[in-house]
């Protein structure tokens, strides 16, 4: 890097951080930002005389936007030095041990959200302040008070600043985006932007609706006299704050590496997004001794996880026709390795989304792959366009059967029930795991069976025999016999699987179970009123069931005769007990699997529900109970530990 490039890099970094911190709309990935940032750091280290005061390295952190009152923190909010690999950890440890060799480390997740400072005086929450530049933030007390995991009062009378991260849980993020998509609004790029944007709303009723969660990670000014950070944090949790999903006190390199691996391995299973693990010296006296550089504490470091967001290029947009006829665009992208998996395609939801984001062929985009969800395009880097990008034209005809497409709300749909793609996909769906779970009916085989004319609908699957199969190209004896065996195994399965496999629009696994439990075989004759009475089933679903049954009565009967599904046995009436007729919610880790506990409680005549409401009678909780526990407390729902439940039984 020369001086011109240095100046250029600074401008770029400042633009990127404005988009990140002020506009909540990042235009690059953390990874790319970090790389350039480190190049700037290196340049400044070797050319200290050329250091520019506008350099992002001289800035403490987030910027402040208009709209809120500025508020100084009682003590400075620091940021963290990042490390990315074993060598980084090794270097940091060597440096830290030089300052003090007699130390241990507190490790906890690095949450990917927005930082927040809470000021409590006389046990009352008086201020909530965003991080801002680390010294002065924005006063957002009204918004903060809508967040349920932030206690409004605590059993601690001296003035204290409690610091932590505001996050949005992944399921809540999906829910918000789904609704926004449905309502034709722009979706949030990732949970972090959604959290930051929701926190800094001028209208706090918007914040309240977003189900934000606060996770404490430290304190600012305090009068606490703990020797260890781990004990101090334990005290903070005991005041009514959430615990991290994983934490550990470790001794040195190997143990830190070990817990880092565990957290990285398990990160998908946590409710919130993590972008790394924070390592902090556990001895508070040593922390004070070590102190701070201009920007960061010497006693702490952020050990980042492999990136889940990458920049790539859109090569092509292909169209997929699903079993319901919905035509969804899929982007074929330049293959990109994301945390060990080569990503080549990304979903685009629907055409409105393409138009809104103005995605063009040849565009540079940010893709996100997290957990086992399909990678998605979260951002188009329009500022990187060369002018040669090509607009995507919304199709008017089904790419498979060429029949006219109709716009149904946000979805573009092929109306032809016999469209090859619809038929093939409904057969695939019929055989999928949450339906009849028929092994060996992959897309290639289903297509071959369909093209040969042997299988035109799911019913035809059961007319297949060895002779017919052996005539097909690529079907040898073994493959054919395996398929026939799998088809045999599709028989005598639980009835809810049968209902689910029918592919009734809007009716998924949960609704299928409800229908099976409530009506058994007679679900085909249930009236709309009866169906709506079932919990979790609304008008739209009920109408869809009725319409399906009306149109497909013959097929349902035929399939039922072939498959002989098992009608659920009605439970015997339970004897009198404290749970009979009650609604129970389970949360946390228990001594046995959730399924076993659920079964046990259902036999007692209770209904086990997935979410807490005023109607819930009991919340039974195990280890690491999370938001459900908080909600139960708020609503005054009686809570029982697993042990207490067993005693009652």
* Least gap, CB of 223 to ligand IVH (angstroms): 18
Q: Which is nearer to ligand IVH, 281 or 541 (CB)?
A: 281
Helix (H, G, I), strand (E, B) or coil at 275: strand
Q: Which listed range, 32-40, 110-118, 181-189, 555-563, lies at the site for ligand IVH (CB under 6 A)? A: 110-118
Instruction: Establish whether 110 is a catalytic residue.
Output: yes
Closer Cβ to ligand IVH, 78 or 351, answer by number:
78
Applying CB under 6 A, among 75, 79, 403, 639 the residue interacting with ligand IVH is: 79
| Nearest distance in Å: CB 300, ligand IVH | 5
* Continuous segment of H or E residues that includes residue 641: strand 638-641
Any contact of residue 389 with ligand IVH (CB under 6 A)? Answer: no
Residue 326 and residue 415: Cα distance in Å, rounded? 9
Instruction: Output the smallest distance, CB 276 to ligand IVH, in A.
Output: 8
Q: Buried (b) or exposed (e) across 501-540, using 16+ Cβ within 10 A?
A: bbbbeebeeebbbbbbebbeeebbebeeeebeebeebeee
222: contact with ligand IVH by CB under 6 A: no
- Is 341 within 8 Å of 369 (Cβ atoms)? yes
Question: Residues 16, 20, 43, 78: which binds ligand IVH (CB under 6 A)?
Answer: 78
Which CB, 89 or 608, lies closer to ligand IVH? 89
Of 484-513, binders to ligand IVH (CB under 6 A) are none
Closest CA to 333 of 351, 312, 303, 318: 312
Binding segment toward ligand IVH, per CB under 6 A, in 105-113, 219-227, 458-466, 488-496 = 105-113
Copy the structure tokens of residue 141.
């007390």
- Residues 125-144 binding ligand IVH (CB under 6 A) are 131
For residue 164, the minimal CB distance to ligand IVH (Å) is 8
297 binds ligand IVH (CB under 6 A): yes
Q: Is 110 an interacting residue with respect to ligand IVH (CB under 6 A)?
A: yes
Tell me: does residue 278 bind ligand IVH (CB under 6 A).
yes
Query: Per the residue annotation, which of 18, 53, 70, 110 is the catalytic one?
Result: 110
Nearer to ligand IVH, 278 or 608 (CB): 278
Binding residue (CB under 6 A) for ligand IVH from 218, 245, 325, 375: 218
Determine phi and psi for 222, rounding to 5 degrees. -160, 165
Q: Rule CB under 6 A: say whether 118 interacts with ligand IVH.
A: no
Task: Yes or no: say if 623 and 643 are a contact pair by the CB < 8 Å rule.
Answer: no
How many residues bind ligand IVH (CB under 6 A)? The answer is 15
Q: Tell me the Cα Rg of the chain.
A: 29
- Cα atoms in the 13 Å half-sphere on the side-chain side of 638: 11
Residue placing its CB nearer to ligand IVH in the complex, 109 or 329: 109
Burial class (CB in 10 A: 0-12, 13-18, 19+), 75: middle
Residue tagged 């092509």 (tokens): 316
Residues 155-184 touching ligand IVH, rule: CB under 6 A, are 165
Could you tell me which stretch among 108-116, 320-328, 514-522, 617-625 binds ligand IVH (CB under 6 A)? 108-116
Taking the complex as a whole, the smallest distance from the CB of residue 274 to ligand IVH amounts, in Å, to 8
- Classify residue 24 by its DSSP letter: S
Residue 108 found at the interface with ligand IVH (CB under 6 A): yes
Strands 341-347 and 327-338, bridge-based pairing: antiparallel
Exposed (0-12), middle (13-18) or buried (19+): which is 16, by Cβ within 10 Å?
A: buried
Instruction: List CB contacts of 361: < 8 A, sequence separation 6 or more.
Output: 314, 315, 316, 317, 389, 390, 391, 392
Which residue, 69, 179, 85, is CA-closest to 127? 69
Task: Find the shortest distance in angstroms from Cβ 616 to ligand IVH.
Answer: 32
Residue nearest to ligand IVH (CB): 115
Nearer to ligand IVH, 76 or 175 (CB): 76
Using the rule CB under 6 A, give the single segment among 75-83, 390-398, 433-441, 610-618 that binds ligand IVH.
75-83
* Residue among 154, 168, 272, 302 that touches ligand IVH (CB under 6 A): 302
Torsion on CA atoms 90, 92, 94, 95, rounded to nearest 10 = 160
- Residues 628/587, Cβ–Cβ less than 8 Å: yes
By CB under 6 A, residue 57 contacts ligand IVH: no
Nearer to ligand IVH, 17 or 493 (CB): 17
Contact (Cβ atoms closer than 8 angstroms) between residue 103 and residue 250: no
Separation CA 370–CA 378 (nearest Å) = 12
Q: Which residues form the catalytic set?
A: 110
Query: What is the contact surface with ligand IVH in residues (CB under 6 A)?
Result: 78-80, 108, 110-111, 115, 131, 165, 217-218, 278, 297, 300, 302
């Amino acid at each position: 890097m020369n001086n011109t490039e240095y100046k250029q890099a600074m401008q770029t970094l400042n633009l990127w951080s404005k988009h990140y911190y002020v506009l909540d709309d990042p235009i690059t990935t953390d990874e790319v930002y970090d790389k350039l940032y480190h190049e700037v750091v290196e340049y400044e280290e070797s050319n200290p005389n050329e250091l520019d005061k506008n350099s992002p390295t001289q800035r403490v952190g987030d910027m402040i936007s208009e709209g809120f009152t500025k508020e100084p923190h009682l003590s400075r909010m620091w940021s963290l030095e990042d490390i990315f690999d074993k060598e980084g950890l090794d270097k940091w440890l060597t440096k830290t041990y030089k300052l003090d060799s007699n130390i241990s480390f507190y490790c906890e997740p690095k949450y990917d959200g927005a930082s927040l400072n809470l000021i409590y005086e006389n046990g009352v929450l008086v201020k909530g302040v965003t991080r801002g530049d680390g010294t002065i933030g924005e006063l957002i007390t009204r918004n903060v008070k809508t967040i349920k995991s932030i206690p409004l009062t605590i059993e601690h009378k001296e003035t204290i600043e409690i610091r932590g991260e505001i996050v949005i849980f992944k399921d809540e993020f999906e829910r918000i985006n789904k609704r926004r998509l449905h309502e034709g609004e722009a979706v949030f790029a990732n949970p972090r932007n959604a959290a930051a944007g929701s926190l800094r709303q001028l209208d706090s009723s918007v914040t309240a609706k977003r189900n934000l969660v606060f996770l404490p990670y430290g304190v600012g000014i305090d009068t606490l006299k703990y020797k260890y950070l781990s004990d101090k944090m334990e005290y903070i949790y005991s005041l009514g704050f959430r615990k991290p999903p994983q934490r550990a006190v470790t001794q040195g390199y190997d143990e830190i590496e070990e817990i880092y691996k565990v957290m990285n391995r398990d990160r998908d299973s946590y409710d919130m997004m993590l972008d790394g693990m924070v390592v902090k010296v556990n001895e508070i006296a040593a922390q004070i001794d070590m102190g701070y550089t201009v920007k960061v504490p010497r006693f702490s470091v952020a050990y980042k996880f492999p990136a889940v967001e990458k920049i790539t290029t859109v090569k092509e947009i292909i169209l997929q026709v699903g079993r319901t006829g919905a035509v969804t665009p899929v982007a074929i992208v330049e293959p990109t390795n994301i945390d060990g998996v080569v990503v080549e395609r990304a979903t685009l939801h629907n055409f409105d989304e393409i138009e809104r984001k103005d995605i063009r062929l040849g565009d540079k985009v940010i893709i996100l792959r997290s957990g086992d969800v399909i990678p998605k395009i979260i951002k188009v880097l329009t500022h990187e366009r060369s002018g040669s990008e090509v607009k995507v034209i919304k199709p008017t005809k089904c790419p498979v059967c060429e029949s006219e497409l109709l716009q149904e709300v946000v979805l573009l749909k092929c109306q032809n029930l016999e469209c090859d793609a619809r038929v093939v996909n409904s057969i695939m769906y019929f055989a999928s795991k949450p339906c009849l779970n028929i092994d060996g009916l992959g897309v290639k085989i289903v297509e071959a069976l369909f093209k040969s004319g042997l299988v035109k609908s799911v019913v035809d699957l059961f007319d297949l025999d060895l002779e017919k199969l052996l005539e097909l190209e690529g079907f040898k004896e073994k493959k054919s016999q395996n398929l026939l065996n799998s088809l045999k195994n599709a028989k005598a399965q639980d009835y809810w699987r049968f209902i689910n496999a029918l592919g009734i629009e809007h009716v998924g696994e949960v609704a299928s179970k409800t229908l099976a439990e409530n009506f058994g075989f007679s679900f085909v004759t249930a009236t709309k009123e009866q169906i709506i009475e079932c919990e979790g089933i609304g008008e739209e679903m009920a109408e869809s069931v009725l319409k399906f049954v009306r149109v497909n009565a013959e097929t349902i009967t035929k399939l039922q005769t072939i498959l002989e599904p098992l009608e659920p046995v009605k439970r015997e009436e339970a004897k009198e007990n404290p749970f009979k007729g009650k609604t129970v919610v389970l949360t946390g880790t228990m001594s046995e699997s959730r399924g076993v506990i659920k079964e046990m409680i259902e036999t007692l005549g209770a209904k086990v529900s997935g979410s807490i409401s005023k109607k819930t009678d009991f919340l039974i909780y195990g280890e690491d109970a999370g938001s459900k526990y908080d909600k139960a407390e708020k609503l005054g729902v009686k809570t029982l530990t697993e042990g207490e439940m067993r005693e009652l039984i």
